[in-house]
Every structure is written in structure tokens, then in C-alpha cells.
Amino acid sequence: MAHPTGIGVHLVLIREDRILLGRRRNTGYADGWWHLPAGHLEAGESVAAGMVREAEEELGLLIAEDELRLVHVLHDRDPDDGVVRLQLFFATDTYRGEPANCESHKCSELRWWPLTGLPEPTVPYLRVALAGIAAGRQLTVQGFG
């Protein structure tokens, strides 16, 4: 069950100036597009617990909540459906396991991409958030006027 306030959690994994992205499939949103490992909070779940759960479900990685760093917040009104979402982007340098595609029914492939050469198509709000992170901004607000 998705969190009622529309909060998304996203994992930013970077190795040697390359970022881990997955190609979405069978999700009903941006299928065929590249995006970070991500998901929505479940009812009663903290943002840190949700990110830890998603990392394990999607990638098979074990991450302690205190190993997560909040690197960006995107408060976004979707231009297509008008829905307002709060997207939280977390990073970590410490995890156990090696990233694997554990949800192949929702992700057709995982790949490390250069930060300066993201693939096409990449989910548009992800590009916005990554630009904010690169610029050292903690918050981006878009679609509100």
C-alpha cells in the first residue's frame, strides 16, 4: 500500500563517477525509461525504513538506516496528472552485498551510467533532482506556478 501523502524514496548509488540506474518495466509509470532504484512508503513506515526496504527488495542490498544520507528533496507537481509528490533522494557509501536486479518483473536491466552521460530516456524529474544534487542544492520545488 502506498503512503497516503505520496512520498517517494530514491537510492543514489555512485561508483567511480557512475550512477546505478534501472530500466523500468510493467510498472504503469515510465516503462522503458531509466530511473533510480526507488519506491513509495508503506503505511506507518519511516522514510529511512522505506529506503532500506526498497534497497533490499530491488537490489538485494543491506543498508543500516544510519548509513543513509538525505542528499536532495524534490517537491513536485506532476505536469501530466497534477499530483503533488515529495521525492526524497538518499545516498550511502556503506552497504552489504552487490547490486543485483531482484525485481526483474519491474526492471528489465540495471546499469552503471556516467554522471555526465545519462541514458535516454531518463525519467524527467530524476534529471532535475540529479542537477540539483550536482549543484549542491538540497531542495528543488517545481510545478507550483
Give residue limits of the domains in the chain: 7-142
Does residue 94 register a pLDDT over 50? yes
Residue with cell 533510480: 36
User: Which one-letter amino acid corresponds to residue 90?
Assistant: F
* Average pLDDT over all residues of the chain: 94
pLDDT, position 145 = 78
Contacts of 120 (CB under 8 A, 6+ apart): none
Does residue 67 register a pLDDT over 70? yes
Does residue 99 register a pLDDT over 90? yes
Q: Across residues 95-107, what is the average pLDDT?
A: 97
CATH architecture of 7-142: Alpha-Beta Complex (3.90)
Contacts of 81 (CB under 8 A, 6+ apart): none
Calculate what percentage of the chain has a pLDDT beyond 70. Answer: 97
Backbone angles phi, psi at 121, to 5 degrees: -85, 145
pLDDT, position 84 = 87
